[in-house]
Structure 1
Amino acid sequence: MGEKISEIHPFLTGRWISKLNKQISEDRWFINNSCFGYFPNQEVKSIFLGTFPIYEISLGENYSKNFEFFYGSNQNLFWPIVSGLIGKEINNVEDMMDALKFANIGISDILLEMFRDPEKSSSDKDLNGIIYNDFNLLKNKFPKLQNVFVTSGGRGPVATLNQTNGSASVWLRDSLKKFNPTGFNQYGFVKNIGLQGGKQFRLISLYSPSNSANRSIKFILNEKNNFNIDKMSIDKFRILQWGYFLRKFHFSENEFPLIDRVYNFVEKNRELKRFFDD
């Protein structure tokens, strides 16, 4: 049996940056030995935090029109959702970076290095031998960072989950254990996390933009009778949840009309708002 191949995140190796069509500002492409991320500026107060790119985007031959950037799989709805909420077209990696700058949100993954078992698997549960992206150092570098939006996990306590669950929330928790974190045992989409030394941030769970979340969303919609919303769908529900929390914790009023519209829609639906807030 051959030796496992360790993968370093392609944001650090130069694979992604070498493919870009235009010059980028290096101060946005933040990299050091222990942590990394794309940050539009030093004042960023929110980031999206994923896990690790699929094999094709990390090491393999990219035959499937995937984007060599965070959430780059062509099967993932992350960028279409962001595009729809901020009203900005996203067709390539340069558009993705422009959208993050436009929305003033950073982006990163919680894993810096790992190996896959089996090889070439695209499932987070098959990632092992993990070295973490040092979130505590990122917090030092970007002191105004207060909102971490993850697209895996949910309302349940993260403290009860183990590493084999393979989610950004679980790996973030494990990466911070030496700082005696509190708050991961809270119930709700929003968890207030505290670290030794006084650092704090919100961990906000958004429904996964992959099709893997469709079954659980469909169950909720059936159970709640679609929250009495006409023409409710899985995609619409996902957009309502993302838009509500992005507007509540990141965007200012009247900053993005489409997000304001989503937020106001949820505010007027008492049952849906209670479901998101509880």
Structure 2
Amino acid sequence: MVNDLSGSDGFAPIVSEQAKVLILGTMPGAASLLKQQYYGHPRNAFWPIMAALFGAHVELDYQQRKEVLIDNGIAVWDVLQYCRRPGSLDANIDMASIRVNDFVGLFTRYPLITQVFFNGATAEKMYKRHVQAMLDNYFPNIEYRRLPSTSPAYASLRLAQKMEAWRVIKESMLK
């Protein structure tokens, strides 16, 4: 469904039993919803960063890129399962319309996930406001860290700067 006033549903997670890291966005934008792919906007830096870190090259088809992430213990999801938002900007999300994803279910089913990396400040803010308080008693060992948004709307950092910041994911998996 396209991001319009009627609202949009998010995607199922990219995840496997071996996932150790969860990358959380806010909600797929219009281009992603049309393509039915996480980070589907051609100028989003997510896939170029995943290519540099894990070999999920943009030349691979979407299914192959997902498999590269899975093979590297990376899960991808969004904080929101549903929202109304005209356009793709997180700032335009109708807060009265949001429904969050089932994180209790996710972390119960995939207990090796111990690190969550937020793709931008809005994902972190939504998670902390609507999710984290109900999880802390059940999953106290999960570590959280915000990374710069890969969105083309977040233009204050160049791709190389975003890539450098995102290296922390790969480094954290080597511990």
TM-score range, shorter chain: 0.7 to 0.9
- TM (norm. structure 2) is 0.84
Give CA-to-partner distance per residue, 1:133-189, whole Å, 9 cap, x none: 121221111112111111102xxxxxxxxxxxxx1111111222652x6xxxxxxxx
Amino acid at match of 1:126: N
Question: Which consecutive residues of structure 1, in runs of 5 or more, have no partner in the other structure?
Answer: 12-35, 154-166, 182-194, 218-233, 254-278
Moved over 4 A (4+): none
Q: Equivalences for 1:147-166 in 2 at 5 Å?
A: 147-153=115-121
Partner of 1:142: 110
Structure-1-length-normalised TM-score: 0.55
State the match for 1:37 in structure 2.
Answer: 13
Report the Cα offset of residue 105 of structure 1: 0.6
CA distance in 1, matches of 2:63, 2:139: 37
Structure 2 segments unaligned to the other structure (5+ residues): none
Equivalent residues of 2:56, 2:65 under 8 A apart? no
- Correspondence 1:124 to 2:90: yes
Q: CA deviation at 1:109?
A: 0.8
Q: What is the rounded CA distance, in whole Å, between the counterparts of 2:57 and 2:107 in structure 1?
A: 30
Note if 1:112 corresponds to 2:81: yes
Give yes or no for contact 2:19–2:70 (8 Å, CA) kept in 1.
no
Contact 2:55 2:68 in 1 (8 A): no
Cα deviation for residue 248 of structure 1 reads 2.8
- State the Cα distance separating 1:73 from its structure 2 match: 1.1
What amino acid is the match of 1:81? I
Counterpart of 2:45 in structure 1 is: 77
Per chain length, whose mean CA-contact separation is higher, i.e. which structure has more relative contact order (CA < 8 Å, sep 6+)?
Answer: 2
State yes or no: 1:247 paired with 2:162: no
Quote the Cα distance in structure 2 between the aligned partners of 1:7 and 1:168.
17
Q: Quote the Cα distance in structure 2 between the aligned partners of 1:135 and 1:239.
A: 27
Mapping 1:1-278, distance limit 5 Å: 4-9=5-10, 11=11, 36-39=12-15, 41-58=16-33, 62=34, 67-91=35-59, 92-116=61-85, 119=86, 121-128=87-94, 129-153=97-121, 167-176=122-131, 179=134, 195-197=136-138, 199-215=140-156, 217=157, 234-243=158-167, 245-250=168-173, 252=174
What letter is aligned with 1:99?
V
Q: What SS does structure 1 have at the residue aligned with 2:164?
A: helix
* Residue type at the aligned position of 2:148: Y
Q: Deviations over 1:74-95 (max 9, x none)?
A: 1201101110222343332122
Identity %: 21
Kindly report the root-mean-square deviation, in angstroms, between the aligned alpha carbons of the 2 structures. Answer: 2.2
Work out which of the two has the higher radius of gyration on C-alpha atoms and give 1 or 2.
Answer: 1
